[in-house]
Copies of this chain bind each other. A is one copy, B any other.
């Protein structure tokens, strides 16, 4: 868990999702962004889920990352009770390979958007939160640009090895 005051809340329906969702936390840590992680289940603790979402902005969070699988309602329900941007991570379950999770998260009705990333793409959810923060923080934006440069360098080195 980050030492800094949390700017991002990472939530999931069960701690069994943590091995997937941990990648979001790691991405935030790379950029030194404080976060909190919690189990907030839409279906098993709906009142706490409503409370968590309703209070998130007031507690200083700037974005929420919510992972869920199957009939994945957590990201959309949080988006319904917070004015913050909510990033949804479709967690693949045992059947249907995450297609149910993806559609349950991305196909939100008009008025209540969820910023959806790829199936299982918690790391990208973290990086998307960084971009949201970086849009208002020139230093952070520079670091995101440097991160993208680093991705390029790594890809170039892979190409050099392949060409040898």
Query: Is the beta-carbon distance between A108 and B42 smaller than 8 angstroms?
Result: no
CB-defined interface of A61-74 with B at 8 Å, one 1/0 digit per residue? 01100000111110
Given contacts A63-B135, A156-B39, contact A70 B18 (CB under 8 A): no
**Shortest distance between the CB of A120 and any CB in chain B (Å):** 6
* A159→B40 contact, CB < 8 A: yes
State the CA gap A150–B85 with chains docked (Å).
18
Q: Count copies of this chain in the complex.
A: 8
Complex CA–CA separation, A124 to B13 (angstroms): 17
Mark interface residues in A135-153 (1 if CB within 8 Å of B CB, else 0): 1100001001100100110
B96 pairs with A96, CB closer than 8 A: no
Cβ-defined contact, B39 with A46, below 8 A: no
Q: Mark A48-86, 1 if CB is under 8 A from B, else 0.
A: 101000000100001100000111110011011101111
A49 to chain B, nearest CB (A): 9
**Given A1-B163, A39-B162, A155-B45, is A83 in contact with B145 using a C-beta cutoff of 8 Å?**
yes
For A93, what are the chain B residues with a Cβ–Cβ distance below 8 Å? 107
Answer whether residue A127 sits at the interface, using C-beta atoms and an 8 A cutoff. yes
Q: Which residues of B contact A99 (CB under 8 A)?
A: 96, 103
- Beyond the given A71-B118, A111-B124, A113-B131, please list 12 additional residue pairs across the A-B interface where CB-CB is below 8 A: A13-B109, A37-B163, A39-B156, A43-B79, A45-B152, A45-B156, A46-B50, A62-B135, A71-B76, A95-B118, A108-B118, A111-B123
